[in-house]
Amino acid sequence: MDNYGSDPVVLIDHPIPSVVRITLNRPKSLNALNALNAPLLSSFVEALRANASVRIIILEGQGDRSFCAGEDLKQSLAPKTGSAEELQDITRLTSSSQSIVIAAVQGFAIGGGAEIALAADFVIRGPGAKFRFPEISLGHAVAGGITLRLPHMVGLLKAKELLLTGRWVDADEALKLGLLTEISHDPKVMMPDVAKGDIRDLNAALSSPVANYPERSFFRFGGQDVTFQQFDTAVGALAGGLRKAGIAPGDRVLVMVKNSVEMAYSWMAVNRLGAIWVPINPELKSVTLKGVITSAQPKLAIVDEALLPEFQQTHVVDDASVFVNIPDGTGPRSLSNFMGLAPPVTEPVIVTPATTSALLYTSGTTGKSKACVLSHEYFLLQTKALIESCGLRDSDVLYCPFPLFHFDATALTMVPAFLLGAVAALSARFSASRFWDEIRATEATAYNYMGATLAITYKQQPNEETVTTTFVLLGVYLCRTSRKRYQIRIINEGGDKVPANTPGHLLIRSDHPNAMLKEYFADPAYTASAFKNLWLHTGDLVKVDEHGNMYFVGRDKDVVRRRGENVNAKEVEDEFFCHPDVVVAAVYSVPSQLGPGTEEDLKLAVQLHPGSTVTEEELWQWSVTRVARFQVQSLIEIVQDIKRTPTGKLDKIAIPLVGG
Give the confidence band of 597 by pLDDT, cuts at 50, 70, 90. Answer: low
Q: Is there a single domain that holds both residue 520 and residue 640?
A: no
- Percentages helix, strand, coil for the chain (3-state, rounded to 5) are 35, 25, 40
Q: Which of 60, 86, 135, 600 is catalytic?
A: 135
Q: CATH no. for residue 483?
A: 2.30.38.10
- Mark which of 555, 589, 622 sits at the end of a domain: 555
Most confident of 173-187, 245-259, 280-294: 245-259
Q: Is there a single domain that holds both residue 499 and residue 565?
A: no
Q: Is there a single domain that holds both residue 189 and residue 124?
A: yes
Q: Is there a single domain that holds both residue 170 and residue 67?
A: yes
The answer to whether residues 72 and 112 touch, using CB atoms and an 8 Å cutoff, is no
Does 618 participate in catalysis according to the annotation? Answer: no
Q: What percent of the chain has pLDDT over 90?
A: 52
How distant, in Å, are the alpha carbons of 174, 219, 443, 629 from that of 440? 49, 16, 5, 27
Q: Is there a single domain that holds both residue 128 and residue 274?
A: no
Q: How many CB atoms lie within 10 A of CB 203?
A: 22
∠ Cα 86 91 92 (to 5°): 95
Q: Which of 71, 115, 310, 637 is catalytic?
A: 115
pLDDT in tens, 110-164: 998 999 899 888 898 887 889 999 988 877 777 678 888 899 999 999 999 999 9
Q: How many CB atoms lie within 10 A of CB 400?
A: 26
Q: Is there a single domain that holds both residue 42 and residue 167?
A: yes
Q: Is there a single domain that holds both residue 168 and residue 49?
A: yes
Q: Is there a single domain that holds both residue 163 and residue 182?
A: yes
85 SS3 class: helix
Out of 281-290, 462-471, 629-638, pick the least confident. 462-471
**Residue 441 placed within a domain:** no
pLDDT in tens, 525-548: 999 999 999 999 998 888 899 888
Whole-number average pLDDT of the chain: 86
Average pLDDT, stretch 296-306?
A: 97
**Residue 151 placed within a domain:** yes
- Mark which of 165, 198, 231 sits at the end of a domain: 198
Strand partners, 397: 423
Buried b (16+ CB within 10 A) or exposed e, 453-465: bbbbeeeeeeeee
**Residue 438 placed within a domain:** no
**Residue 464 placed within a domain:** no
How distant, in Å, are the alpha carbons of 263, 284, 348, 372, 570 from that of 295? 21, 14, 27, 12, 17
**Pairing mode, strands 446-447 and 397-400:** parallel
**Residue 452 placed within a domain:** no
**Residue 455 placed within a domain:** no
Residue 201 is predicted with a pLDDT of 94
Q: Is there a single domain that holds both residue 7 and residue 147?
A: yes
Q: Is there a single domain that holds both residue 512 and residue 377?
A: no
| Angular region, 394: left φ>0, alpha ψ -120 to 50, beta rest | alpha
Out of 230-234, 326-330, 499-503, 586-590, pick the least confident. 326-330
Q: CATH no. for residue 151?
A: 3.90.226.10
Going by C-alpha positions, the residue among 219, 247, 264 that lies closest to residue 349 is 247
| Counted domains in the chain | 4
pTM of the model: 0.69
Does 617 participate in catalysis according to the annotation? Answer: no
Average pLDDT, stretch 16-41?
A: 84
User: 564: Cβ–Cβ under 8 A, 6 or more apart, which residues?
Assistant: 402, 430, 450, 451, 452, 453, 599
**Residue 403 placed within a domain:** no
Q: Is there a single domain that holds both residue 253 and residue 380?
A: yes
- Could you list the residue range(s) of the whole structural domain that residue 501 is in? 478-555
Q: Is the model's pLDDT at 520 over the cut of 70?
A: yes
Q: Is there a single domain that holds both residue 544 and residue 565?
A: no
- Mark which of 555, 584, 599 sits at the end of a domain: 555
pLDDT in tens, 399-430: 999 999 999 999 999 999 999 999 999 999 98
Q: Is the model's pLDDT at 337 over the cut of 60?
A: yes
Residue 325 is predicted with a pLDDT of 92
**Residue 492 placed within a domain:** yes
